[in-house]
Chains A and B, each alone.
Chain A
Amino acid sequence: MTSIKKPLVDKHLRKNRHGLTQRDYEGVASTLCAGCGHDSITAAFVRAFHELDLEPHRAAKVSGIGCSSKTTAYFLGQSSGINTVHGRMPSVATGAAAVNPDLHYIGVSGDGDSLSIGLGQFAHAIRRNLNMLYVIENNGVYGLTKGQFSASADIGTRAKYGEVNEQTPIDPVRLALTLGATFVARSFSGDKEQLVPLIKAGLMHRGFAVIDVVSPCVTFNDHAGSTKSYAHTYKYYHPVIHADFVPEEKEITADYADGEAITIPMHNGGDVILRKTDTSHDPRDRDAAFDLLKNLEGSEIPTGLIYIDESRPEMGEMNHLPDTPLNAINHSKLCPGSATLKQLMDGYA
C-alpha cells in the first residue's frame, strides 16, 4: 500500500470521446506488493478502455480468488463486477453473458485460479466460446498463501527458499489451443506496448479471448533461479506477432501496407493488424501455432497474438440466445402468463 492515494491532477490529460481522462478508468488504490506485475496489467486495462472510448459502465468484471482476482477492484471503478468462488469465475461469467450480451466481460484470473481449482471451468468456457476477455495473470506461485508453486511453474524453477519444482507445468496457451480457443495470446506485464493492443483486440473479439500474461510475483518469485522473474522474462522474452488494434473510424495507415502485415476485421468493430517480427508464423494457422510453441520450447518465451479465428460463433449464437439483454425485455414477453404455459403444456399432451 502506498501512504497516500494517487492524487487527482488531470487538467493536462487527454479526454476521450466521452470527455473522460485515463483517471476516470481507474479504481481504488491497489493493496498488492510494490512492483507486482498485476498492477501493470491493471494499468494496461485502464489505458485500453480509455483508448477504446468505451464507457466504464459498459464493462463487467468477473474474477475468482487470488492476488490476480483482487485487481478487478483497481480498474474501472465505475463498472459492475463480482469476485466469485475460487476457480468458478467462468460459470458466473457464462450466466452473466447469457442474460446480458451487451456488456464487455473481463475475466481476471491467475495461474492458481485457472489451472488448478478452476481448470475444468476454464476448459468448458473455451468449449462454449464464451464471449469474454479472459486474462490470466501468471506468476507461477500462490502469492497470497506465501509462494507455493502453482500449476504453471516450470520444471527446475526454484522457490524463494530453495525448493525445486519437479512437476510438469500446464501451459494455458497450449491448453487453450488444444481446446479450440478462438483468440490465444501471451504477453508480459512489463510490455504495455504489446499488452494494451492485445487487450483491445481481445475485447473486440467475438468469442473467448485468452491472454496469458507473465506477471512476476515481486515478493515470492522474482529471484535468481525463478523462470517467472522480471530478469528471466526480459532475457527470454520473444515477441513473435505484434497485434495493433485500429478502431473502426480510423483509417489503416500506409505503415502496414508492405505485405508483411495481416489485417483481420473484428466482429465487434475495428481491425487487428498483425505484424510478424522474425518468424513466418501466421496466427490464423492453428497447426503452425503448435509448431511455433514447440520449436521455441525451453529457450524462449514466445509472445504476441499466437492464434486468432474470427469465424466461429460464440456461445449466444450457438444457443440462439436473444440479442437483447433480459433486463431490457418487457415483463409480458419474459413471463407470458399461465394461459401461454397451458397452451405450451397442451402441446405435449
Chain B
Amino acid sequence: MGMKPTDTSDPEYFHKVVDCQHACPAHTPVPDYIRLIAQGRYTDAYMMNRRSNVFPGILGRVCDRPCEPACRRTRVEDEPVAICRLKRVAADHRDEVKHLMPEVMPPNGKKIALIGAGPASLTVANDLAPLGYDCTIFEALEKPGGLMISNIPSFRLPEKVLDDEIGYILDMGVKLKTGHRIDSMKAMLEEGYDAVFVGSGAPKGKDLDLPGREDAADNIHIGIEWLESVAFDHIEEIGKKVLIIGVGNTAMDCCRTSLRLGADSVKVMARKPRQFFKASPWELKDAEHENIEIIVNHSPKAFVTENGKLTGMTFEVMEYDVDERGKITGTRKTGEVTLPCDDVILAIGQDNAFPWIERDIGMEFDKWETPVVDKTTFESTRKGVFFGGDAAFGPLNIIWAVEHGHQAAISIHKHCMGEDVNDRLPRGVNLETAKMGPNEWSYSNDYDPDARSDMPEVDLAERFKELDIEVELGFTPEQIKTEVERCLNCDLQTVFSAPACTECDACIDICPVNCLTITANGDEADLRTRLSAPANNTDQALYVSEGLPNTARVMVKDEDLCLHCGLCAERCPTAAWDMQKSTIFLPHADDELAASVSRRAAE
C-alpha cells in the first residue's frame, strides 16, 4: 500500500500550491497579475485584479494581505513578495479603464436592495448590475464606502482612490441613496424587492465601563465613531496627550490620526505582550515609525477626573506566564500606574448590531443576537434575504467582504432565477504547458535573491502638516522591477508523467531545494521521513506519482520549498517533468448566468 497518486485534475490540488492565491479570500491570481506588471501591462493587471477583488487601488493600500504571510518566499527566505503594494502599482499606473468595465445587459426586471454602501454591497452590485439587475444601495452616511471611508484615514487611503473605484460600480447603473438609514427590515421587505442584501457592517464600537467613565465622557471616544467623525470633518482636533486603549488595526488608525489632529504624545496601551497584538505587523511598524509608543502589559482600571474633566487613566501592571505553545498560563498584577492624558480613544473591538431588524419576520437569530447566515450561500433563514461583510459573521476585513459579496451575488442571482442557491458551479483547473522551446519557458524562471523593497514614504516632518497627505508614495520603477522578479510563479506547476520517466535521477540532482525523491511508496507519515530532505511542513502537500516503469517506485515531490524554477523539467531527458501554467476557475455570478444559458440551450 501507500499514498494514492496525486489527482492533478482536482482544482484544489494546484490551487493550494499557489499559496498567496489560496490564502486570499477572493482568490486573486497573484502570480498572474505580477507577471503582467513585469511586462508593463498595468491596465491588464488592474482589470485582472478587479475581476476577483473589485477594489485594486483601495486594497493595494489597505488590504489585510492574508496573501503575504502565506507567500512561499517566507519559507524559502524570510520576507514575502510585496504582493499588496504591487497591486497598488497596477492601480497607480493603469490607463483609463472605464471602457473595459463589463457591458450592462438589458434590464432583467429584478430589483435588488442593498443595505449599506460598504465593500460587500458594492461587490454584489458590481456582480449583478452588469447582468441586468436593478440595484439600489441604501447608505446612512453622506458618502458611500462604508468603513473604507469612515474608518480608514485618508493619509492611508486617499478619497480620490475610493471615488474612482466606487464610481466604476455606480456607473453601471447602480442607484445610490445616501443619508438614507434603513430602520426597519419589515418595511424594507414590503417594498417589493426581489432580494435584499445586508452589508451594513459591524457598526457598534465596544465601550469600557470603568470608574470615571461617565464623568469623563467628553474626552473618551469610541474608536470607530471617532474615526468616522474625523473622516466627515466633525472632529478637527484632539488634546496633546492621548491614550489609545487596544492594539488592533483600528487602534493604529486612531493613534496616527491623533498625531495629525494636534496630539504630541500618543501612547497605545496593550493589556498583553506583543505576540498577542491583533494589529498587523506592518501597521504596528508604521505607527512606531511615527514615534507612537506602544506600552505592553497594562490593563485599564479607572479613568481619573478632576473637576469633571479627564486628567489621566489608571492601569494595573500585569505579568504573564506563557508556555512554549504561546498560551498564557498565569496572570499576576505587579503594581498600578496612572498616566496623565487629555483624551482616551477606545479601540477594543466592535460588534454587530441589528436593532432595525424585527424579530418576527421569519429570520432566525442566534444567542449573540446576530442572524443565522449560511456560510456558503450567505442566505439568512428568511428566503431572499442575504448577508455579507462584517454583518454576516462579525468583523473581518475588506477582502473577506468582497468575497462574501461575490458569493452572495451568485446566491441572489440563483434566487431571482428560481434556481437552487446551493447548486453552485464547481471550481475547475486548467493546465497548459509553459514550454516555448528547449529550456525556454513562458515565464521568467530564474530565482532572484533580492530582498523585499521598502515602501518610500513622505518625510515625518512633512506628513503631519495635513490630515490627508498620503504617507506611502508607491514603489519607484526600480523597485517595481526588482519586486516583480521576487515572485516565484507558484502557478507554474511542476507536472509529472510517470510512464515517461527513466529514473535517471537528473531532476533530483538538479533540484536546488531537494524537494524531489524517487522511493518506494508508503503512507504519508512514513514517506515524509524518507525524502531527500525531510518534509516537516505538513501544511504543504506531497505530490506522489503512479508507479515508475523500471522499478515501480514512485516520484515524490514535497511542494513546500519548490522554487518553480523549472530546472527539473530542463534536466529531464524525456519531458516527464513539464512546467504547466495552472489557472483556477472560480465562478462568479456572470459564470452562473452563462452556465444556465448554455444549459437551457442544450435542453
Chain A residues within 8 Å of B, Cβ to Cβ: 1-4, 6-9, 11-13, 33-37, 39-40, 42-43, 189-190, 192, 216, 218, 222, 230-231, 234-235
Q: Which of B449, B505, B513, B565 has the most CB of A within 10 A?
A: B505
List 15 other contacts, CB 8 Å, given A3-B439, A9-B563, A35-B573.
A3-B440, A3-B446, A6-B567, A33-B573, A34-B570, A34-B572, A35-B572, A39-B509, A40-B505, A190-B503, A218-B504, A218-B573, A230-B503, A231-B502, A231-B549
Interface check B512, CB cutoff 8 A: yes
Give 11 A-B contacts (CB < 8 Å), ordered by A residue: A2-B571, A3-B440, A4-B567, A6-B512, A12-B533, A34-B570, A37-B504, A39-B506, A39-B571, A231-B549, A235-B550
A42 to B570, CA, bound (A): 18
Residues of B within 8 A of A190 (CB): 503-505
Q: A12-B533, A42-B509 are in contact. Are A4 and B565 (CB under 8 A)?
A: yes
**Min CB gap B466→A, angstroms:** 44
Across the interface, which residues of A come within 8 angstroms of B445, CB to CB? 3-4
- Contact, CB under 8 Å: B512 / A7: yes
Contact partners of B573 in chain A: CB under 8 A: 33-35, 218, 222
> How close is A217's CB to chain B, nearest CB, in angstroms?
11
**B182 at the binding interface (Cβ < 8 Å):** no
Considering the complex, give the chain A residue whose CB is closest to the CB of B533: A12
Say yes or no: A230 contacts B567, CB within 8 Å.
no
Which secondary structure characterizes the binding site on chain B?
loop
A7 / chain B contacts, CB cutoff of 8 Å: 446-447, 449, 512, 563, 565
Contacts of B480 in A (CB 8 A): none
Interface residues of B (CB under 8 A from A): 76-77, 439-441, 445-447, 449, 502-506, 508-510, 512-514, 533, 549-551, 561, 563, 565-567, 570-574
Pick the contact of B509 from A4, A43, A218 — CB < 8 Å?
A43
Tell me which residues across on chain B come within 8 A of A230, comparing CB atoms: 502-504, 550
A1 contact set on B, CB distance < 8 A: 439
- Distance of A37 Cα from B509 Cα, bound (Å): 11
Contact of B503 with A35 in the complex, beta carbons under 8 Å: no
Cβ of A183 to closest chain B Cβ, rounded Å: 24
Identify the interface centre among B504, B512, B513, B551: most chain A CB within 10 Å of its CB. Answer: B504
Closest CB-CB distance, B376 to chain A, in whole Å? 38
Report yes or no: A2 in contact with B567, Cβ–Cβ below 8 A: yes
How far is the CB of B370 from the nearest CB of chain A, in Å? 44
Closest partner residue, chain A, to B447 (CB atom):
A7
Residues of B near A12 (CB, < 8 A) are: 513, 533, 561
From known contacts A9-B77, A40-B509, A190-B503, infer whether A234 and B563 are also in contact, taking CB-CB under 8 Å: no
From A40, A218, A234, contact of B550 by CB (8 A): A234
The residue in chain B whose Cβ has the minimal distance to the Cβ of A46 is B509
Q: Which residues of B contact A35 (CB under 8 A)?
A: 502, 504, 506, 571-574
B551–A9 contact, CB under 8 A?
no
Residues of chain A lying within 8 A (CB to CB) of residue B570 = 2-3, 34
The reply to whether B505 and A6 contact each other, CB–CB distance below 8 Å, is no
In whole angstroms, what is the CA distance A231 to B77 when docked? 39
For the complex of A and B, 6 pairs with smallest distance between CB atoms:
A35-B573, A7-B447, A234-B550, A43-B509, A3-B439, A230-B502
| Closest B residue, CB atoms, query A5 | B446
Cβ–Cβ < 8 Å partners of A39 in chain B: 506, 509-510, 571
CA distance A6 to B567 in the complex (A): 8
* Cα–Cα, bound, A12→B510 (Å): 16
B447 lies within 8 A of A189 (CB) = no
Residues of B near A37 (CB, < 8 A) are: 504
Please give, as numbers and ranges, the residues of chain B lying within 8 Å of A8 by CB-CB distance. Answer: 449, 512
Nearest A-chain residue to B505, judged by Cβ: A40
Q: Which residue of B has the minimal Cβ distance to A74?
A: B509
**Which residue of chain B is the closest to A218 with respect to CB atoms?**
B573
Q: How far is the CB of B138 from the nearest CB of chain A, in Å?
A: 53
Chain B min CB distance to A51 (Å): 13
Q: Is the CB of A231 within 8 A of B504?
A: no
Residues on A with beta carbons closer than 8 Å to the beta carbon of B502: 35, 218, 222, 230-231
Cα of A3 to Cα of B76 in the assembled complex, Å: 21
Nearest residue (CB) in B for A1 is B439
Who on chain A is nearest to B567 by CB? A2
Shortest Cβ distance from residue A180 to the other chain B in the assembled complex, whole angstroms: 33
**What CA separation (Å) do A36 and B505 show in the bound complex?**
9
Q: Which residues from B are CB-within-8-Å of A6?
A: 510, 512, 567
**Cα–Cα distance between A231 and B446 once the two chains are bound (Å):** 33
**Shortest Cβ distance from B578 into chain A, in angstroms?**
13
Instruction: From B506, B533, B550, give the contact of A231 (CB < 8 A).
Output: B550
User: How far, in whole Å, are A35 and B561 apart by their CA atoms in the complex?
Assistant: 23
Separation of A23 and B67 alpha carbons in the complex (Å): 31
Can you name the residue of chain B whose Cβ is closest to the Cβ of A22?
A: B514
Assuming the contacts A2-B439, A2-B567, A35-B572, asked whether A9 and B76 have C-beta atoms less than 8 A apart, the reply is yes
Distance of A108 from chain B, by nearest CB (Å):
16
In contact, A34 and B571 (Cβ under 8 angstroms): yes
CA distance A192 to B549 in the complex (A): 19
